[in-house]
Amino acid sequence: MILWLPPYRAVDAVGVGGVSGDHIHLFIQYPPKYSVSFIAKRLKGRTSRILRQEFPELKKWCEKSLWAPSCYHESVGHGWEIVEKYIAVQDRKS
């Protein structure tokens, strides 16, 4: 899956899983010139816009913001397989 954040370069979603009522696990690869907070802000903004267009009732449910202002992130140099397995297990827990 490729998440495009124009006019920025593509962000490659290596793994998505563990979707639950209050969070989602994303395993992404991105150009090092962007900070994690920059990418999180763009992802949250873009997905909020798309979801509110697709589901207008969300505007009533959450008038000010769809996503929480916080996020947890961790970087991985080696050991991608471990992260992918972790996400897969989280998906089964949901």
**Structure confidence by residue, pLDDT tens digits, 5-18:** 555 555 666 666 66
- Residues in Cβ contact with 52 at an 8 Å cutoff, skipping those fewer than 6 apart: 58, 59, 66
Query: Which of the residues 8, 30, 72, 86 is marked catalytic?
Result: 86
Q: Is 2 exposed, middle or buried (0-12, 13-18, 19+ CB in 10 A)?
A: exposed
Burial 23-57 (b: 16+ CB within 10 A, else e): eebbbbebeeeeeeeebbebbbeeeeeeeeeeeee
Contact 3, 72 (CB under 8 A): no
Amino acid at 14: V
* Domains and their CATH numbers in the chain: 2-93 (3.30.70.1290)
**Whether residue 30 lies in the annotated active site:** no
**Structure confidence by residue, pLDDT tens digits, 13-60:** 666 666 666 777 777 777 788 888 888 888 888 888 888 889 988 888
- State the pLDDT confidence band at 63, using cuts at 50, 70 and 90: confident
